[in-house]
Structure 1
């Protein structure tokens, strides 16, 4: 049963600003997803040579969907079968790819590789229209690049940072990637490491053990380097310096006298979060941090006085490991994957590695809400409604739970210690798209667009029908409005070809009928007995409803088909 939306019917402002119409190749070609992959490829990417497929069209489609064929490790089995030469150092590039291959060469690909290809063909990736999404991101990137406010911190001025550096990377929970600008420049994690170390500690040690040493509330002052403790004489949370040191001591406890092993174990977790990308320390930043460590030692001694560290951990080792973790370098691209791992419940999108426990992710995102943006955290939560972690290297990591992770980098900082460009980009993302944690749960503003096919209800047509008809039967206009804002068609019909407007007319619900007409449903659709909504309104004698329908171009059916219900 398909939607029968009228092209000429009146539409309100809500309808004009609804989500973009989506179509997939599977809908156009009418291909069954249950077919073997080779049959699907042969039908969609058929080459001039019989039994061959056009490789460039296939890879172009994959890349357009946001899956980077030359970089995504999940696509390596596919790429290995397309290579001209297997001996080149940089073999995964389009110059080393065959233009055409027999479709039989692509049999028995691994399931994660097949999954990406099918998501691409059938439009089942998290963001189906990824290329249009990328265009929006590029527009925002270029606009934000014009911002010249902010100041580079003194400790970064002595390194290679400059005010013009500006990079952005986005990674969805499906592993769709987009990057722009200086997204490959390595930047130190600084206080962003606190979020990941906290998640690792909970995964390894459990919530009860970790929260004996750190609290779960916002700091009184909102700054990272506060010396005060909470009512239980522990750091307020894991995102401030005292809390990060306490977490570091817990991670050090496994090898209290073996600093290299502790560092290696933690960074191994970081690398798994980043999709198995190798990470290293920026020695210049590490030494610079150590040269001005007096306040850190003051905080550490305060914690030691209040038994804030596990026994047998040396203070010098705690401080040293803390500085090392802060000095680990990531690019925007690897940082986006790390953030996307949090968005994906602890499972790395690009490898499928289950790195963190679900409890660890939930707790980490909660604390990021509270303290992730320093003293600006409350305003950020109000504006964007997204867990985020900022650091003084000019980087901000933003997590959209269940959807994507973002990593943004620009060295100039505002008075709160947040990157001015990255902060503005995050604001514009939240204004442009329905990403705020309350969007789609209460009522997303009409100007926002919902990105995800999974969230707009189009994965299951039958489920969409059930939701809409249930809401219409109970006259729940608010619920129908929310479905409409999420991109769900409310012009669907049930097995009797009856629509929500039919139900509104049978129930005499003028307010519901007005809403449905405002969003442009088909006023002349007929059910299986040739009844239109106007026929139902006439049958139940609602003159006001009859007038309303006629004013919107409604007509009567050719005559009802008699059935047992009418007798």
Structure 2
């Protein structure tokens, strides 16, 4: 639930028409986690359930809820309650209702699995496996042209994810601070678009992949930097930001915007890296003077101030946990998933993601777009963000780089991500490969859809449809796109019931040939397929079912059934 929704609920707190649904939902949640012996709700149990849905303890959307709990604990206690005591508190029904109030929407959606990734545990278990697979990767070399970056350990390996609904998790060195370096570029570009508009920004910088090294001294055919994701383009974008302010005010403005992207996460500044960058920036100085020669900059641009601002932006410090939230803000159309604040317009995000997709991975951008198919941006400090639009943002941190300047582990992680999930920009959501997971779907959604398709095909007598959907038999079960052929509908009827009732002998024979259970399953009314065949006068179907039952008994079916009972 966003800030606007929460404020609206608060403002109409006294309006009775809004209270019944809140009370009803609060009662439902209370009863779900109520301790029957004490008739209280355990905050620890609720917090654990929310964590399993991806909602972390430090989620700012629940801060008011925990503050209310702490205030009530303070009122009822003779001493100041600790944070641990608050989290282990037990609340009665009325107290829980008073505390949860406007935050009930988030809690309800999480517990009812209505967030963008409903099966959070299954999804994160796959991510965990990918992360562990790459822990022992020893390839790559740490960037050494900036002395401060050369001191990083090649063992550092962190990963963090954040969905557009604020579901979060992190692994490894996700809280370790690092400098954004080139990963600052998409955010700076988005801020420039928000402040100035795309038309003005692209009077000075292009939108095409350069096909050259990220710091090469060259311009496009219009005598402009090729795009904002390379050094020349990023320097020029920096020159456009708040030109009427002093250097310190310009940096404060951009830093403040970065903090909005971060939704309260850690965003700092590493002065040592800034000084180190400025001392070793001969190529960037050369780029800037080359662009000034070709009149790329707006009039009266200070080269030194522009470069200092650019170096400062590259030296902004954060960690993987926070950067994942920043990436998720891009995935969410510029709206922070944790605060609901519109940081930049959707149009700015659209343009930013487009350029990240085509230009974000240095000279590997084309190959990355082909094999991974997602907007991404990497930096020489070893950081990398991946944006899955309308789903989540991912941050990876591992200092060893490949020959093109991308983090080795980060690229390999992205490739394995696409092997497991249908996140590629051109993965079909309808005809996707069976081994790929669509984490947006509920665990039983695919099963229900498959059962429905199977029942419909049986009702229509469409054997070719069943064959096209590849019924596969093994020693344990028949699978129809993941659905057991013995599955039942809401009336507990099987495909045998439908085939027998319709009198489709060919279909019934087709199904019985693959049927490995009792061929006389009962529906909710106690009717068997053979009963339907008799009622509708399907003599041939009756014979087929009788023969199938005889074969089943000959193979020991009756004995197996007795053993089960």
Q: Which interval holds the TM-score relative to the shorter structure?
A: 0.7 to 0.9
User: For residues 517 and 147 of structure 1, do their structure 2 counterparts lie closer, same or farther at Cα, with a shift above 3 Å needed?
Assistant: closer
Query: What displacement does 1:92 show?
Result: 7.9
Query: What displacement does 1:537 show?
Result: 5.7
Alignment of 1:136-535 (within 5 A): 136-155=126-145, 158=148, 160-221=151-212, 223-255=213-245, 258-277=246-265, 279-441=267-429, 443-453=431-441, 458=445, 489-492=449-452, 499-502=455-458, 504-505=460-461, 509-515=462-468, 518=471, 519=480, 520-521=484-485, 532-535=497-500
Aligned to 1:215, the other structure's residue is in SS state coil
Larger CA deviation: 525-534 vs 223-232: 525-534
Q: Which runs of 5+ in 1 are unaligned?
A: 1-31, 459-483, 563-567
Q: Is the 8 A contact 1:239 1:371 kept in 2?
A: yes
Aligned equivalents of 2:319 and 2:81: distance in 1? 23
Look up the match of 1:548: 510
Aligned equivalents of 2:485 and 2:164: distance in 1? 34
Q: Is the 8 A contact 1:523 1:552 kept in 2?
A: no
Query: What displacement does 1:430 show?
Result: 1.5
- Measured against aligned partners, the alpha-carbon deviations of 1:297-349 in whole angstroms (never above 9, x if no partner) come to 22112222333222232111111101100100010011000000011111111
Look up the match of 1:81: 68
Q: Is the 8 A contact 2:22 2:101 kept in 1?
A: no
Aligned to 2:265, the other structure's residue is in SS state coil
Aligned equivalents of 1:337 and 1:265: distance in 2? 20
User: For residues 457 and 365 of structure 1, do their structure 2 counterparts lie closer, same or farther at Cα, with a shift above 3 Å needed?
Assistant: farther
Larger CA deviation: 518-527 vs 136-145: 518-527
Aligned to 1:406, the other structure's residue is in SS state strand
Larger CA deviation: 75-84 vs 205-214: 75-84
User: For residues 536 and 96 of structure 1, do their structure 2 counterparts lie closer, same or farther at Cα, with a shift above 3 Å needed?
Assistant: closer
Q: Which runs of 5+ in 2 are unaligned?
A: 1-19, 472-479, 520-528, 537-565
1:558 aligns to 2:523 (yes or no): no
Look up the match of 1:125: 115
Query: What displacement does 1:95 show?
Result: 4.5
Aligned equivalents of 1:511 and 1:135: distance in 2? 37
Aligned to 1:397, the other structure's residue is in SS state strand
1:43 aligns to 2:31 (yes or no): yes
Aligned equivalents of 2:510 and 2:107: distance in 1? 48
Aligned to 2:439, the other structure's residue is in SS state coil
Query: What displacement does 1:444 show?
Result: 2.4
1:101 aligns to 2:91 (yes or no): yes
Aligned to 2:395, the other structure's residue is in SS state strand
Look up the match of 1:23: none
Aligned to 1:558, the other structure's residue is in SS state helix
Query: What displacement does 1:189 show?
Result: 0.8
Aligned equivalents of 2:276 and 2:376: distance in 1? 26
Query: What displacement does 1:246 show?
Result: 1.4
Query: What displacement does 1:121 show?
Result: 1.8
User: For residues 173 and 112 of structure 1, do their structure 2 counterparts lie closer, same or farther at Cα, with a shift above 3 Å needed?
Assistant: farther
Query: What displacement does 1:103 show?
Result: 2.2
- Measured against aligned partners, the alpha-carbon deviations of 1:184-236 in whole angstroms (never above 9, x if no partner) come to 11111111111111111111211111111111111122x21122211221111
- CA RMSD after TM alignment: 3.0
Q: Is the 8 A contact 1:156 1:393 kept in 2?
A: no
Aligned equivalents of 1:523 and 1:95: distance in 2? 48
TM-score (ref. length: structure 1): 0.79
Aligned to 1:492, the other structure's residue is in SS state helix
Q: How many positions carry a matched residue from both structures?
A: 487
Aligned equivalents of 1:208 and 1:33: distance in 2? 47
TM-score (ref. length: structure 2): 0.79
Aligned equivalents of 2:105 and 2:376: distance in 1? 30
